Amino acid sequence: MVAGSAHASAAVVALDLDSGVASVLRPGDPVKLDAGFVSVPEAVEFPTAGGRTAHAFYYPPRHPDHTGLDGELPPLIVMGHGGPIAAADATFDRRIQFWTSRGFAVVDVNYGGSTGFGTEYRRRLNGQWGIVDVDDLINAARHLVATRRADPRRLGIRGGSAGGYTVLAAMTQQPDFFGAGASYYGISDLEALLRDSHKFEARCLDILVGPYPAARGEYVRRSPIHAVDRLACPLILFQGLEDKVVPPNQSEMMVEALRRKGRPVAYLAFEGEQHGFRRAENIVRSLEAELYFYGAVFGFEPADRIEPVPIANAASLPPRRGLPQA
């Protein structure tokens, strides 16, 4: 089986059912992080639209040598997984620990439609993609603000592919809720996705949005590319220039719309990358650039030494200050 824990990334493991002894056949991530830096997730349930309950994993900030100022609530990054009918789990993920070790709280949301919570929960997304997922990410943030585990003035949202679609949908449907967003090759045109879907996902959008072309109106209404005039929140976009699922022009239209409106926006495009970054140097650069962008938007100076990121309309951003690490 493939198994992991909050302290260990997924590995290939053989479990002897008689003795209960587990043997690692193929280890996962070989890099070990000191336990003092590891943020252990808490499974949370929270109220969401329609009187329902949704699920997430909350990761508090964690650093052995730094704590926040007395009474200060941490900035929060709200994450939506890809798929969109996949799921987030509690297995150790260095990308999440990157944020929690730098003073951020993270909530990894299993929005309605995620696998692992029963058939009824999975079916919540049927015909509702771009609605239920957006509601659940926003309500996860509201719940953590209400329970004093996140600063309402410093809320960010991030995701890739289908998760990037939820980022863009949230920012066009609720443009004033989040303070910053990061879209990694996020889907902005559902009709284009329908044409370019992977073979194993053929007809999936008939279930998640509606049969095409009969439901074309819904495809247009839920496509952020047709609502760029509503974008207002500072946004950073990351794009592979060889991406055929989400062609670069989709991200570029978002960038141009924000530039015209005078809103802070940054765009990093990577040669040789497709739908999902694979080169280590590009993964590192994108994470550091995202941190740099949050620093510019929320007014703090990251402790990391980061190559500056060009930000259009940066004059409207607050002055930077030191970020108290948690």
pTM for this model (two decimals)? 0.93
8 and 111 both lie in a single domain: no
Location of structure tokens 């000191």: 34
Chain position carrying tokens 């109106």? 217
Torsion of CA 260, 261, 262, 267, to 10 degrees: -60
Could you report how far apart the first and last alpha carbons of the chain are, in Å? 35
Sequence-ordered list of residues with C-beta below 8 angstroms from that of 29, at least 6 positions apart, any chain: 9, 92, 94
Q: How confident is the model at residue 313 (pLDDT cuts 50, 70, 90)?
A: very high
Whether residues 255 and 314 share a domain: the answer is yes
Listed in sequence order, the residues at least 6 apart from 174 whose beta carbon sits closer than 8 Å to its beta carbon are 134, 138
The CATH number given to whatever domain includes residue 288 is 3.40.50.1820
Helices 132-146, 162-173: axis angle to 10 degrees equals 70
Indicate the DSSP class of residue 317: S
CB 91 within 8 A of CB 10: yes
Spatial contact of 202 and 232, defined as CB atoms under 8 Å apart: no
Q: What is the Cα–Cα distance from 51 to 229, expressed in whole angstroms?
A: 31
Cis peptide before 41 (omega within 30 of 0): no
Q: Is the same domain home to 17 and 126?
A: no
Q: Please say if the pLDDT value at position 325 is more than 70.
A: no
pLDDT band at 65 (very low <50, low <70, confident <90, very high): confident
**Same domain? 62 vs 209:** yes
Torsion angle (degrees, nearest 10) of CA 210, 212, 213, 214: -30
- 163-191 pLDDT, tens per residue? 999 999 999 999 999 999 999 999 999 99
**326: pLDDT confidence band, cut at 50, 70 and 90?**
very low
In percent, how much of the chain has pLDDT > 90? 80
Query: How would residue 197 be classed by pLDDT, with cut points 50, 70 and 90?
Result: low
For every residue of 81-150, DSSP letters joined together read -STTT-----S--HHHHHHHTTT-EEEEEE-TT-TTS-HHHHGGGTTTTTTHHHHHHHHHHHHHHHTTSS
Distance, CA of 43 to chain centre: 17
Task: Report the residue count for the chain.
Answer: 326
**Which has the minimum average pLDDT: 163-167, 229-233, 235-239?**
229-233
> Phi, psi at residue 188, to the nearest 5°?
-120, -15
Same domain, residue pair 14 and 162: no
Q: How many helices (H) and strands (E) does the chain have?
A: 9, 13
Residues 181 and 296 in one domain: yes
pLDDT reported for residue 33: 83
Give mean pLDDT, residues 63-87.
Answer: 90
3-state secondary structure (DSSP) of residue 70: coil
Position 69 scores a pLDDT of 73
Taking a C-beta distance cutoff of 8 angstroms, is the pair 274, 239 a contact?
Answer: no
- pLDDT band of residue 323 (cuts 50, 70, 90) is very low
Mean pLDDT of the chain: 92
Question: Number of folded domains in the chain?
Answer: 2
Domain containing residue 136: 34-322
For residues 76-107, one letter each, b for 16 or more C-beta atoms within 10 angstroms of the residue's C-beta and e for the rest, the string is bbbbbbbbbbebbebbbbeebbbbbbbbbbbb
Co-location of 22 and 49 in the same domain: no
Same domain, 287 and 226: yes
- In the 8-state DSSP scheme, what is residue 309? -
Residues 229 and 262 in one domain: yes
Q: Tell whether 217 and 81 lie within a shared domain.
A: yes
CA angle 264-138-192, nearest 5°? Answer: 65
Bridge partners of 267? 237
Are residues 25 and 104 both part of a single domain?
Answer: no
Same domain, 84 and 185: yes
